[in-house]
Structure formats: C-alpha cells, structure tokens
Chain A
C-alpha cells in the first residue's frame, strides 16, 4: 500500500508513465490479436484448397476472389475446364464456382453442395439448395439481411450494393447456416446454374428458371484439391499451358500476402517496441528521481528498522504497480481497438475480427512489461541499499 501511495504522490509523472507503457502494450496486443486472427481465419478459409484455376490475370486477385471472396474475379473460363480438371489424374476434387452478383453487399456464390462440406458447415434452419434459384444464407448474411427461410430476395449485378437489380429473377431462401467462423458466414450460396440463369435471362423469372437446367456456358473459377503431393509441382504448369487459364496456389499467394502485410506489421511492431523502451526509460528516470526526492523518507524508514532489502522491494513494488496498471490498461485498449476494427470490417463484409478473443502470445504483453519494470527498478533499488542513513539523519533542514 505504501508503494501505491508513493506512486500517486506524483500523479503527473505516474500518469505519463502509465500512458506510455499502456500505449506500448496496447499496440503490441492489437498487432498480436489482429495478426493471429487473420492467420487463423486465412488458414481456416483455405479449407484444403490446393489450387485456384481461373482466367489469366493477377494470381493474388484470383486467390482473394476464389478462396476468401475479398476481391473481384479475374474473368471467366470455359465450363469444359471443370471436366478437364476432374479427369486429370492428379486432381482429387474440383469445385466449380460462379461469381458476379451480390445481395446487400454479400456475394452470391454459385457452387456445388459439397462446397459446404469443405468447411464443415451445418444447416441452422431449412435445407441445402436442390434446384436453381434456391439460396442458403451464411450466418452473418442471414443476420444482416434479416432474411429467414421462405423469403424471396433479388440479387444485384456486381459485388457492390449499387448494382442493377435482377428483379425478374428472384431467389428463394431455403436454408440458413450455423456460424462457422469462416468465409461461408458472409456468403449467399446457390447452385452454379442459378448464377448463369440470372445472367442469361434477366428479364423474366420463369424463363430464368427454365434455362437454369441448361449446361452453364462458363465458370468464374475452379477450386482444386490435389490427389498427390506431386501435383503441386505438375498441375500448375499444366494449367498455365492451357489457353486462357491461370493457376494460383493459395498457400504461396497467402505467404506472399503476409510478406507484403509483414512490412506494415513490422513497422507497427517496431513502434510498439519503441514505446515500451521509452516507457522503461521513463519509469527508470522517475524511480531515480523518486529515490532522490525520497532519500529523507527512506532514511527514516531505515531508522525505524527497515532493512535495506525492504526499501529496495518498496522501489521495485512501485515499478511493478506502474507495469501492472500499464499492462492492464494496454490489454484492455488493445482488445477494444481490435473489436472496433472488427466491427468496421464487418460493415465492409470483410474479415471477421473480435476483441473478445485471447491469444497465447499475449502472455508476452504481461511478462515483458513486468520484466522491464523490474529492470528499470534495479539501479534505483541498488542506490537505496547504499543510502548513508547516518549522514541523511544529520542533514540540516
């Protein structure tokens, strides 16, 4: 309690030190939370997808559009590509995908029913789609669009909310998914045929439904799972050799994405380390000053029988109070910032981040400030042990 009172005897210095260490911990916590959640989300969304085959363009764009549904697709590919891939000896599974429309900002993804199984998705209400023009809503999409089973809904052209509405070809909502914490949460899922039916015959619902049974003309991309590890070396080359086709490896592109993001993260991480270093220095200076200012008090405590080790512990405890308050404030702030970012991203139908999650790496945000505080207290505590009590007690007013 004495250390606590001494700490707040100089509220300005205590407040500044607290702010510095709190900010350092907050930035560090924020970075750890965001990077770990992004890494986990990306790993989950990869769902064992080894290759994305689509139209020529940027492989990163193809991967972002096909796996994470964060970018526009590069174009379309012939529907026959699916057959070629399925008959390839190195392909275990190939999932066709048709993209292009959205509902209220949530992307409509035309795929086969197995796509849900790739993510272990479970139906919360209703059933899977069985026919064209039936849709199943991801958890977030269902919540935000406030649609339930039995409702009808109209898609808009493009991935933004401002596209032209396909009013003549409404979808029937037949199911709603449980939350999976994966990319499916923010998708509207349907058969590939639905997407092409809407685009081939946008003027009338009836015609769209009739034509939905026809062979789709083109696909946007195909997701591939390898049958053999050898495919990683062979299959992309085979795809690249086909006219108009491009292969993107999600593992490679994700690693590249992290390298690109890593530069920004490293800058922020450096900033957090700098803040922690400055706060350590500041705590050190504050404690040196405190010992100098309080020589008289400390000498009196020695006179009252306090052993030098008790006074050193008092100084260390004051530093520990600062560290503990700073790390508690920093952890709370870091989690609050992550939650705010998560809510902003949710509005943009982007990655799901939560401030209510913890990561094991945050242990460092606790251990490091405490270790730094004890380091900062070491020299002032050593000075306390060497106090010349007799001289100080004789000192004039």
Chain B
C-alpha cells in the first residue's frame, strides 16, 4: 500500500526532509506519526501526488509516483485516492450534495447520483443534503468530507489529522467512523496524526514514525 525508498524533499530556504525507508505492502491501515513540523503533511502531499518526488522512490496503492507527470498524477489521484484534509475544504457556495458531486465534476465525469445517495445514507447525512456547510455541526462536516473522499470508490483514503480540535468523545466517534467507512468501502487508510488517542485506538496498524525527519540536516 505504501513504500518509501530514499525519499527526501526540500523547500526553498528550509532544511531538507529525508524520510526513512518504509514498506507496508498489504496493510489495511498505515499511521504516519510525528510532531508538528516532522514532515507528515509533506509526505501526505507527496503521497497524494500534489508535490513532485524530488529524490528517491514513493509507491502508493501500487503506483510509482517518482517521475510521474503532473497531469498523470492528477488523473491517478482522481481515480485512486480519496483525501480528507485537516481543513475540510467544503465549499460554502454549494450544498452538501453539490460538494459531494465535486468528486465527479472536478474531472468532468457524470455525477453518480445513486452513489451519492448511498453515501449520504450510510454516513447519516441524507437529511442535510440540501443544506450548505455553514449550517452543519463539526461532526456532520467531517462526514460530508469523508463522503466526498469515498465518492469515487478510492483504493486508498488519505486522512490528515482527523481528530485535531475534537474532544475525546468526538475523536472516538471520528475514528470509529473512519474505520467503519474504510471497511465498508474496502479502502486502505493512510492517516497522518500526532494524536495519542488515534494511535491508541489503532494499535496494531503499520506505523511510519517521522520523529527524526525534521532533525535531518
């Protein structure tokens, strides 16, 4: 599911991030753990094909991203990945249903209404489908973002800090929701987190510890 070999990434004017080699071939869930600034979000952006692989090898869901052209990465990401960012990025101009439809509209595909209905019901947000995000609770917003990520039946789900700013109860519910949704959709999970509650709840998952990455000169 995730494989890193000699992977490093540099930003202008900042220390280069060098990631440890890692292999999680058949894992259902992989945790990227480490404190803020350790490179979790950078690795997630690399894994999502949003950044060029500058050095080394990175395989995600069976695809080698090093050397892949930006347009090919866009197409691959749309077909293979579902992404739930830390900031949910739901459009305030669109209804919940239209936000989900973006998963299709963004690549010019016809909207699969049956699939959207199925997700709205499965995630318990069918009754707010016609509302705009600003009228929803934090928990509902997370469900909408998750539904959007799952819309095109991705092979892998990339989730960035899913429990930040949540109390314990909400955090537990979110973790359960993610696991349940991934299981139902037969999707593997790649979660970036430094939240002890997530790490405790997902004991036994493959872990990529990035503590040392930010310290590499």
Contacts and interface: CB of A to CB of B under 8 A. Distances in A.
A300 interface: yes
Given A305-B74, A305-B107, A393-B45, A300 B93 contact: no
A394 interface: yes
A306 B85 CA distance: 16
Contacts of B83: 303-304, 393
B207 interface: no
A6 B87 contact: no
**Interface SS majority for chain A:** helix
Interface string B80-91: 000101110111
A230 interface: no
Interface in B91-112: 91-94, 98, 102-103, 105-108
A318 B65 CA distance: 34
Contacts of B103: 304
B85 A303 contact: yes
A299 B89 contact: yes
A19 to B, nearest CB: 21
Interface string B147-172: 01000000000001000010000000
Interface residues on B, range: 20 to 34
A390 interface: yes
B106 A301 contact: yes
Given A303-B83, A306-B107, A6 B78 contact: no
B91 A300 contact: yes
A303 B87 CA distance: 13
Contacts of B41: 393-394
Interface in A271-302: 294, 296-297, 299-302
A305 B79 contact: yes
Interface string B50-81: 11000000000000000000010011011100
Contacts of A395: 87
A9 B99 CA distance: 14
21 contacts: A2-B94, A9-B92, A296-B91, A300-B89, A302-B50, A302-B106, A303-B89, A304-B77, A304-B78, A304-B102, A305-B78, A306-B106, A307-B74, A310-B106, A310-B107, A310-B108, A389-B50, A390-B50, A393-B85, A394-B41, A397-B165
